[in-house]
Amino acid sequence: MRKTSLILLTTFLLSVSAFADEGMWMLSQLKQLDLNTKGLQIKPEDVYSPDQTSLTDAIVWLGGCSASFVSDQGLLLTNHHCAYSALQRNASKSGIDYIKNGFLAQNRSEELPALGTNAYVLEKIEDVSDKILLSVKNISDPVQREKIVQEKMAAMEDEIEGNREDVSARVASMFKGQQYWLFVYKKYQDVRIVFAPPASIGKYGGDIDNWMWPRHTGDFTYMRVYMAPDGSGAKYSPDNVPLHPKNHLRISQTPLREGDFNFIIGFPGSTTRWHSSYSVAWSLQHRFKERIREFSEILQLMDDFGEKDPQAKIKLAGFHAGLANAMKNYQGNVDGMERTDFVNQKRAFEAELMRFINQNPETKGKYGHILTDIAEQYKHLEATYQRDAAVGNLGWLAGNMSSLASQIYSVAREREKPEAEREPGFSERKVKQAAERLQYRFLSFYEPFDKELFLRALQKAKSLPNDQKISALQPILSKQNLKEFVDEAYAKTKLKDPAVAKELFFKSTKELNALDDPFIQLAAKLYDLNQQIKEEKKSFNAHINELRRAYIDALYAWKGEGLYPDANSTIRFTYGYIKGYQPKDAVWYRPFTTLTGVVEKNTGQEPFDMPAKLDTLETTKSFGLWEDPQLHDVPVAFLNTCDITGGNSGSAVMNAKGELIGLAFDGNYEAMTGDWQFDDSIQRTIAVDIRYVLFLTDKYAGADYLLKEMGLGK
């Protein structure tokens, strides 16, 4: 819907009272939200309290997704797509396609290790702003200031973690460095898969339905968290026992209705609502449009390999899913920004801000330079963008061998620096952790595709304009036949052996250079340029964050308080109501989908290839306890007005009583610009209804023991 005024654009600046559903709020801000007048039927301290057991104690971070405990035996619920990599790794290792076929453990002894998955349970939140900011009180240079801040944050984290493998600490910046908060987690390293539906349920609709409504995906998986007998978060061992969490969520047994109050607690990844029009324009052209072209080409490569070799499809499944999801997100942002002329709307808003700033000599002196200075920073970024992007692609879009060699060589160079000159946070403990996690990377390694990615990255670098050429690469790029070079590099490298690659994390640069490995040689050639680009980005980030802090200060001066910080993978609370929306003229989307809709979409062909058993259950109306009395059907998914973003996947959606009603797993395509602004008329969270989860657990899988464990014994 095209906006004709600045009203909706400026809503992201208004206080809590202006738009009830907006905001990814810090837990420390709950009391200012007046939640009981808005529908919450429990006390705010029942949601979060540092002094007593609360719902927050049942919320788990998976390092990129969210989850929640649903029993006192460490049973977790999260999204199917959050367990996708663990399923893919098990499939790669065993040859059994757990993604296609699904998995159900009949008892605890059959549960699959969720390879590479850690569960982080929050133990402490502390405002450490004074401790951080006092250390830079008299520092005026932004780069030096940022360096000291990063060192202080890393030292604080290291002091808490020590040498303990089951403790994770993170200091997070809020409002671009106006506040700093410490989050301490217990890290559990033994997580196991209990029940994952087949892709024909858990990924029903595939990329076609991704980000779309109406949605009919059973996007859930059960996992279980284990601990050592002594209570530590040890790695997998048959001696480990299920974790007994401080709290777990109870399942709602009350029908869900349109208009019902509900809320979400999870770990949203990243938003950019406090960024300027220059950031919007940059992201539109470089982050979104160019990445869409890149990802589209790479996805086609994966599809081609997958058609020829089923093993390739399994190996590349996780990478494919992640890239496809990101590409559709980017396309939605492009469509939304262009449809609403978002860049110019943002500029018009900033013109209003500048009129406020310039009308007063004091505010003009403080903030009058902000937008001009921000524009200058983006000019610097633009000057070497093509070169920087090509070098960056050689690190992560050039295959496992290239990125692995770069990581190994960088570790060796960092280790050889004087300790005072090392990157903040560098430690041998973290190097060891990276080396141990290497095994999971190789479970996704498919050499023919890896070679194509590497060749593609080299060709991209070769096609750079003359003023952006990478001189260190010219001896390679000048070769007549790059494909022959690539074939020789893969034939010669020792990095394809996981055991050898792991050992290299602990070698010196002299030892690495002596290997005469083509990928290590490439990493060595690019190291100085990579460091130069890294320093340039540090400078950009330091200066731009200082300007963004001033920008936020100006917004405070203009609009008053009641703001929430951008998402940054720290725990947040958001609330709203069950509600449909109008995507276009004369169309209204209702807030519930049902099992009937699943059957209606079924074509028998992927991605609409529902299992025959579901068809039988729908035809015979074998809904059991999970039928909605008004819908006369099993609810599959629902919409609410909660404010979420990536990272919220798997988040518990709770009703006014704090009972579990579903799992957030997506947003709607029409509101893909939601990371930049919130529009309560159109932005919706898509959640899988807990009744569909339980229906599938009961009627499809026959996993009665899980129902009983959750207190739902029949």
Q: Where are the beta strands (DSSP E) in 580-627?
A: 592-594
CA distances to 78, 190, 678 from 98, rounded to whole Å, are 17, 19, 38
The sheet carrying 652-655 orders its strands as: 572-577, 261-266, 652-655, 660-667, 685-689, 635-640, 592-594
How far is residue 484's CA from residue 505's CA, in Å, rounded to a whole number? 28
How far is residue 150's CA from residue 132's CA, in Å, rounded to a whole number? 9
How far is residue 34's CA from residue 63's CA, in Å, rounded to a whole number? 31
Q: Where are the beta strands (DSSP E) in 178-240?
A: 179-188, 190-196, 221-227
Element containing residue 160 per DSSP (H, E): helix 142-161
314 CB neighbour count, 10 Å cutoff: 24
Structure-token pair, residue 255 = 């029908």
Minimal CA–CA distance to 217: which of 206, 233, 228, 232? 206
Tell me how far the alpha carbon of residue 651 is from its chain's centroid: 12
Cα angle vertex 467, ends 466, 471, to 5°? 75
Residue 516 CB-half CA count within 13 A: 3
Q: What is the dihedral of CA 624, 627, 632, 636, to 10 degrees?
A: -130
Radius of gyration of the chain (CA): 26
Length, in residues, of the chain = 714
The residues, ordered by sequence, that sit 6+ positions from 360 with a Cβ below 8 Å of its Cβ are none
How far is residue 102's CA from residue 200's CA, in Å, rounded to a whole number? 9
How far is residue 529's CA from residue 51's CA, in Å, rounded to a whole number? 50
- Beta carbons of 628 and 578 less than 8 angstroms apart: no
**Catalytic center residues:** 81, 219, 649
497 CB neighbour count, 10 Å cutoff: 11
- Beta carbons of 643 and 576 less than 8 angstroms apart: yes
How far is residue 663's CA from residue 506's CA, in Å, rounded to a whole number? 42
- Beta carbons of 312 and 333 less than 8 angstroms apart: no
Minimal CA–CA distance to 278: which of 345, 378, 394, 383? 378
550 CB neighbour count, 10 Å cutoff: 17
Structure-token pair, residue 585 = 């003229």
The residues, ordered by sequence, that sit 6+ positions from 414 with a Cβ below 8 Å of its Cβ are 422, 423, 426
